[in-house]
Amino acid sequence: MKIELTIKQTKVFSSLLKPCLMALTMSLVMLIINVGIVEMFLSKWMKGFAIGYLVAVPTSLLAATITDTIIRKVVKFK
């Protein structure tokens, strides 16, 4: 089953999904590096993920805006 989305909806979905996957991965890696696999691992991971996601979404939106602006100034499009 595929969901039909407009281009704008696809961009919004993508701008929320990318930081979600990044925050999920980074919170897992950082938890394992810092404390290892410990008791209450899943709840600690989900807490780290929630905080990371709240930081990642606005950061990724800001980074995308800045990089798009730089690319438009530097790159000559055909």
Over the stretch 29-78, which tens digit does the pLDDT of each residue have?
999 999 999 999 999 999 999 999 999 999 999 999 999 999 999 998 88
Alpha carbon of 74 to those of 32, 60, 61, 65, 71: distances in Å?
Answer: 40, 21, 20, 14, 5
How much is the average pLDDT of 1-15?
91
Confidence (pTM): 0.79
Domain boundaries, the chain: 18-70
For 28-52, letters b (16+ CB in 10 Å) and e give: eeebeeeeeeeeeeeeebeebbeeb
